[in-house]
Chains A and B, each alone.
Chain A
Amino acid sequence: MSFKTPSILGAILAGLTALAVHWVHVWNLRSASQGTGVRLVVFGPSSWDTFAPGATEDVVARVTSELDTKFKIEHPEVKYIVHDARGPVSDGLARLRNAEVADDPIDVIICAANPVNTAYARDGLIAPLDALVTRLHERFSPGAVDNFTVDGHVWAAPLSAVNLTTFLYNKDLFAQIGATAPRTYEQFRALVPKFRAAGIIPVIHQGKNAWMWLFYYMSALTEATDNRQILFVEHMLEGTTPFTDPTNIHALRLARQWVDDGVLDAQSNELDDNTMKSVFYSGKAAAYFGDTWDRPGIASNVNFKWGVFPFPQYESEPGHAEAFGGVESGLCLAATTKHSALAQAYIEFATRDENAKPLLAPLKAFATSHVNVIQADDEISREMRAQLPATKFLDWIFPPELTDTMQREMQAMMGLTQTPDQTAAHIQAEYETLVKGGYVYRSTQTGLSAATQ
């Protein structure tokens, strides 16, 4: 009872302290967004959505602040430019959605081509930029603007390196068995006994990330359809061709062959990106099918000679292999921006050749979104350039529910728990469920046919 008074006083004091901390914090937040002059926010849904992604943090900070300084000179009414890019790639869409729902001030969005195609444009998170980009179109490489064209509108100004799917391989290990990069699948298959004898795993894959399995399917489908894969996919989505069509099953079988023939490790499903890279970097596996965005990581982590080669040619198939990808990132206009004119001015400014160059230089890319930005000139870069132009990732065309199903079914198939026929049947079943739920295919391609609505 004698402790009552001090206890109550203590509680009140604690409460007041908490409130004080709260008020100071809120005041800090508010004052950051006040003052005279405009405050532009450049938003990155994930930590990858920055200028010069993949370069070290200090380089990113430097090129960003240099750009901003120059912009503020040209537009003195802009007082602050804030960059906010955080979080993993898989949470990017949710983060952007939350920010717009919360009415956070967002003006420019550094956006990746995949989500622009699959979500941002159709969900109303960004505003079309047809007028601006058409005016500037000479700056951009062929195909760059295409990657951001959805439903006949342009949704971003391209600004990024070009990345393509490719095989990455350990030259030393190949040399060990007396081989060089295989040109055809059959050549690769013939190397398997030699790899086995030397105790080397020929090919591994980050199978745990189901989404990466589609690379094999897309590459096989390209060759199986004589390079008319986009049209073929559109037919399947329109319903005129079933997913159980022999050509499609054939493509799945071609992908599955890698495992059946022992070229691709049958337990690749255990590996995610980190564990797979561990196996590759430590010299236990000779190659993997990935993307050029892995280049900086490999360069800084391995001490063997390495290189790239395109997806091999199946001797039996009419088409030739194509690399998927292209320009993968650009600048979008937020749908909820309150400074549309200034935001568009920023986008225009950043994509000027003289400003884009320092933003793209740290990437040492073999090709970029800009025609006039100088490209790297080493052997690997030249080999990659030879594979241009790139073709669109097919999962930009599929609806996300179907993509998810296809990824999981392929994962199961390549893990040897189901046959290609079953895989195709499951995908067809999911497609039919979607159609029953009201799905109608709308082409994202300009000029190509779309299902009637």
Chain B
Amino acid sequence: MSDIRFRGGFRLAFGYGAMLIAALQALGPILWILIGSFKSGSEFLAHPWGLPGKWLARNYVDAFVVARVGDYVWNSVTVVLMGLSILLLAASTTAYALARFQFPGRGMATSLILVTMMVPPDVLTVPLFVLLRSLGLLGTFLGLACLYAASGFGVSVLLLRGYFMSVPREIEEAARLDGAGALSTLWHIVLPMTLPGFASVAVIQAMAMWNDLYLSFVFLRDPASATVPVGLLSFFQRDSVDWPRLLAALTALTVPVLIVYALLQRRFVEGLTAGAAK
């Protein structure tokens, strides 16, 4: 749409106005969190809005030293990386098969995947417990990573299949005529052409795994294995939450993720539009 010309200042103002509103509604809570993370506990409860009287960086230090948030980050990174690898591998191959191949049982496979997406997780708590225990995976990172991968599988397959289907068939046909196997085509042609979609799926799923509280709380038994969301629970004492410290921890943890996301945005999404102009 790069040749849209905004005739007249009104349309331009409308466009920028809409952007401003969109930005504010997304940034509002972020600013609140950021400002709140510099207040003291009592100041936060007494004055949740408004600037802090004194800007305390102490909350950030406390979050890492006292609450040992750093330990949890290491656990989270491990589990998310493991889960993401399993997920992306399984989801890409499955999505490619469903997008480009005709075979008996294709409808059944799609239906099966759909159905597994629709089961409320609470219902599966006990069965998953029993399953992981018999597999010897209860309390392990690998077990949790597999659960994460399985729960994100359906959505990822659907999305990737949609993106794969929009790749022009002629290019794939050409590759096939050249003697490339399915995996090669997938790896060398389809994935590079759908990189924005693939990156989006990866980011979305990584976000979900990073933020998951429920599964990690139930299935990671050892306190030393706790991931970030589970570790953050330690900020909650009965009914009184140490909000500023919690907010500081959350800010410190979300910022790196956002930086990675922003970089991915620029690299992959911009890269494609640049390539298309050639």
Contact = CB atoms under 8 A, between A and B. Distances in A.
A301 B184 contact: no
Most buried by A among B223, B234, B238, B239: B239
Interface in B22-59: 41-42, 45-48
B187 A7 contact: yes
Given A29-B139, A103-B133, A84 B46 contact: no
Contacts of A135: none
B241 A274 contact: yes
B173 to A, nearest CB: 17
Contact of B45 (A18, A25, A274, A294): A274
Nearest to B42: A301
Interface stretch (B11-19, B150-158, B214-222, B254-262): B214-222
B236 A88 contact: yes
Contacts of A95: 217
A418 interface: no
24 contacts: A25-B140, A28-B224, A47-B233, A47-B238, A48-B237, A53-B238, A86-B233, A88-B233, A91-B217, A98-B129, A99-B221, A101-B126, A101-B129, A103-B133, A273-B239, A274-B241, A277-B45, A281-B45, A282-B45, A282-B46, A283-B46, A293-B239, A301-B42, A301-B45
B217 A104 contact: no
A300 interface: yes
Contact of A14 (B85, B140, B226, B237): B85
Nearest to B122: A94
Interface string A98-120: 11011110000000000000000
Contacts of A28: 224
Contacts of B217: 87, 91, 95
Nearest to A273: B239
A47 B188 CA distance: 51
A22 B142 contact: yes
Contacts of B187: 3, 7
B57 to A, nearest CB: 20
Contacts of A297: 239-240
B13 to A, nearest CB: 38
Interface string B184-196: 1001100000000
Given A22-B141, A47-B236, A301 B82 contact: no
A47 B226 CA distance: 14
A302 interface: yes
- What is the interface of chain B mostly: helix, strand, loop, or mixed? helix
Contacts of B184: 1, 4
A57 interface: yes
Interface of B: 41-42, 45-48, 66, 78, 82, 85, 125-126, 129, 133, 138-142, 180, 184, 187-188, 217-218, 221-226, 230, 233-234, 236-241, 243
A293 B240 CA distance: 10
Nearest to A97: B126
A429 to B, nearest CB: 27
Interface in A281-339: 281-283, 293-294, 297, 300-302
A21 B238 contact: no
Contacts of B224: 28
A177 interface: no
Contacts of B230: 86
Contacts of A14: 85
A89 interface: yes
A131 interface: no
A212 B36 CA distance: 28
A180 B138 CA distance: 58
A18 B129 contact: no
B46 A281 contact: yes
A274 B41 CA distance: 11
Given A29-B222, A101-B129, A86 B234 contact: yes
Nearest to B133: A102
A47 B45 contact: no
Given A98-B218, A293-B238, A21 B42 contact: no
Nearest to B180: A1
A22 B85 CA distance: 14
B188 A3 contact: yes
A278 interface: yes
Contacts of A53: 237-238
A167 B92 CA distance: 60
B221 A104 contact: yes
Given A47-B237, A102-B133, A281 B139 contact: no
A302 B42 contact: yes
A231 interface: no
A54 interface: yes
Nearest to B78: A21
A26 B230 CA distance: 19
A32 interface: yes
- What are the 10 A-B residue pairs with the smallest beta carbon separation, nearest first? A301-B42, A282-B46, A273-B239, A22-B142, A297-B240, A281-B46, A48-B238, A278-B45, A281-B45, A25-B141
B218 to A, nearest CB: 6
Given A26-B140, A87-B217, A282-B47, A102 B238 contact: no
B234 A300 contact: no
Interface in A73-102: 84, 86-89, 91, 94-95, 98-99, 101-102
Interface in A1-58: 1, 3-4, 7, 14, 18, 21-22, 25-26, 28-29, 32, 47-48, 53-54, 57
A54 B139 contact: no
Given A87-B217, A282-B46, A22 B223 contact: no
B82 A18 contact: yes
A302 B142 CA distance: 47
Nearest to B238: A48
Nearest to B67: A57
A259 to B, nearest CB: 22
A274 B243 contact: yes
Nearest to B89: A11
Contacts of A301: 41-42, 45-46
